[in-house]
Amino acid sequence: MDRNVEIANALTAILLQAESIRQRAKQDQTEVGASAAHIILNAKRVWRSLGAVAG
């Protein structure tokens, strides 16, 4: 997959997951941790695509 497409997909996933957390945080605190983990994984995808080392 093209590097720019992969970066765009990862950033879109991060933004969508963050919005999901924002909306659900008021309703269901138990899913917030899982959603945060998804954001972290997607952020690491971006760093890998950019060639940086992500912990």
Residue 10 has pLDDT above 60, yes or no: yes
The domain containing residue 25 runs over which residues?
Answer: 3-50
Residue 48: pLDDT band with limits 50, 70, 90: confident
Does a structural domain hold residue 55? no
**In the chain, how many domains are there?**
1
Q: Which two tokens stand for residue 13?
A: 């996933």
Residue 55: pLDDT band with limits 50, 70, 90: very low
The pLDDT score that the predictor gives to residue 53 is 45
Mind listing the pLDDT tens digit for each residue in 17-34?
Answer: 888 887 777 676 667 777
CB 14 within 8 A of CB 46: yes
Q: Which two tokens stand for residue 34?
A: 């899982």
pTM over 0.75: no
